[in-house]
Structure 1
Amino acid sequence: MIAIDKFILGGGLVMIGATVFAESGLLIGFFLPGDTLLFGAGILASQGVLPLHWLIIVVVISAIVGDNVGYSIGRRTGKRLFKKKESILFKPEHLERAEKFYEQHGGKTIILARFVPIVRTFAPMVAGIGKMSRGKFLFFNIIGGILWGAGVIMLGYWLGSKMPWVEHFITPVILGIVAISFVASAFHILKEADNRQLIMQKIKLLISNIALNKRID
């Protein structure tokens, strides 16, 4: 097995679990490619690179715990995070999108949102803001975590088992997933003109500070 496979075996589950947790519970993780990551992990599990049962357990637990963190953030901070001006990550439209989804589907939002990027990240916080009881939230959260985590992984596992030739292309598959994830994340942030302008302002400010420090030295 090549070095990159050993890396996946040694730290893959930790990396995958951390990514799922960040996307589910940390608001800055809304751009993370959870679906792509789990689908790719399922393919790798079908080739024996990742242990299927442990993969599902780690992902489901990470998703459930992450959503609970998001719910707690919603109860404690409410909408204050989204009132910051010039914020790339905490945009009001992200919260509004999750709120509309919640209004349409009620408690089922916690389950359905698992399969909708961005909404998946902010739905738990909206539930916390709306004062949904923790018990009710946990009920829907567990169901959604199992359906999404196990479902997407098993879909990738099934596809991988039908394409045994993928075993010879494990490294390109891994690198491809990473590349697609990076490009998708960058595109999501940079597609908005306000974000591009804000990033350029911060880069110029950083360059100015570096130049100023050199002059002082």
Structure 2
Amino acid sequence: MDRITTWLGGLDGPVVYAVIGLLVFCEDALFFGFVLPAETAVVLGGVLASQGKVSVALLAVVVVVAAIVGDSVGYEVGRKLGPSILEVRPLRPHRERVGKAQEFMQRRGGWAVFLGRFVAFFRAMMPALAGISRMPYRRFLPFNALGGLVWGVGFVLLGYFAGTAYKTVEREVGTAAAVVLAVVVVATLVVWHLRRRRAERLEESAAEAADRRDGPAADAPAVPDAPRVDGPRG
């Protein structure tokens, strides 16, 4: 992470926009999220904006546009190639997670596109799954745009205010207090992430329990009618 920060910090302003925008685009269009989650680069870009190396407003615009366009390309890839795209080598170790993403898409529809934007694996998968499921693009686009806007602006500002707060605390109180602030922020994010994961697991467990409860009744064999017994004739 330090190497990435140093590398981005050594780039010129226009190159920073291009690199971060390209990472965001590729994560959604080409599954690059398995290598480097784009939100990491976006937060680092916000930190650089707090240092005056790039414009926070322009960076937010670049990130939002790259997210929306990247998702649209991922949607088209899924629509054109169909389920075969799920058999590519990078996805083979993640078949269980891909299955959960497909179930999430079936349950939530367009909202899965929006909510998936905030989970790294789902962010890379949801556009393609929407295309595979033949979700109309006119339905996909509003959820895609809303997710890209909230996610892009939110994570840029997260990096920007984190960088600004660090500099302010360091100047007014000292480096030790700034480090404590950074640790508290990171711990808060970790706790939030763990609680979100726990909520997701509880939701999955509830869905599985419901399936098990409903399954036997739905799959029970039909009971044949009792044979008809005619009384004696005559």
How high is the TM-score relative to the length of structure 1? 0.69
What's the counterpart of residue 109 of structure 2? 106
CA distance in 1, matches of 2:167, 2:130: 43
What's the counterpart of residue 64 of structure 1? 68
What's the counterpart of residue 156 of structure 2? 153
Alignment CA distance shift 1:3-1:94 (3 Å): closer
Alignment CA distance shift 1:6-1:32 (3 Å): closer
CA distance in 1, matches of 2:7, 2:120: 32
1:22 paired with 2:26, answer yes
Two-structure CA RMSD over aligned residues (Å): 2.4
- State the one-letter code of the partner of 2:64: V
What's the counterpart of residue 120 of structure 1? 123
- State the one-letter code of the partner of 2:60: I
- 1:5-41 CA distance string (max 9 Å, x none): 4514241110000000000111344332212111111
Match of 1:163, SS? Answer: helix
1:131 to 134, 139, 145: 134
Unaligned 5+ residue runs, structure 1?
A: 168-217
- State the one-letter code of the partner of 1:70: G
How high is the TM-score relative to the length of structure 2? 0.64
Give the count of matched residue pairs: 165
- State the one-letter code of the partner of 1:88: P
CA distance in 2, matches of 1:54, 1:39: 14
Contact between 1:41 and 1:156, CA under 8 Å: does it hold in 2? Answer: yes
Match of 1:79, SS? Answer: helix
Contact between 1:95 and 1:126, CA under 8 Å: does it hold in 2? Answer: no
Q: Quick check: 2-11 or 42-51, which moved more? A: 2-11
Contact between 2:76 and 2:131, CA under 8 Å: does it hold in 1? Answer: yes
Tell me how far 1:108 sits from its aligned partner: 0.7
- 1:132-183 CA distance string (max 9 Å, x none): 111110111110000000011111111111111689xxxxxxxxxxxxxxxx
Contact between 1:94 and 1:122, CA under 8 Å: does it hold in 2? Answer: no
CA distance in 2, matches of 1:34, 1:20: 5
Match of 1:49, SS? Answer: coil
Contact between 1:98 and 1:123, CA under 8 Å: does it hold in 2? Answer: yes
Q: RCO higher in 1 or 2 (8 Å CA, sep ≥ 6)?
A: 1
Unaligned 5+ residue runs, structure 2?
A: 1-5, 172-234
Alignment CA distance shift 1:82-1:5 (3 Å): closer
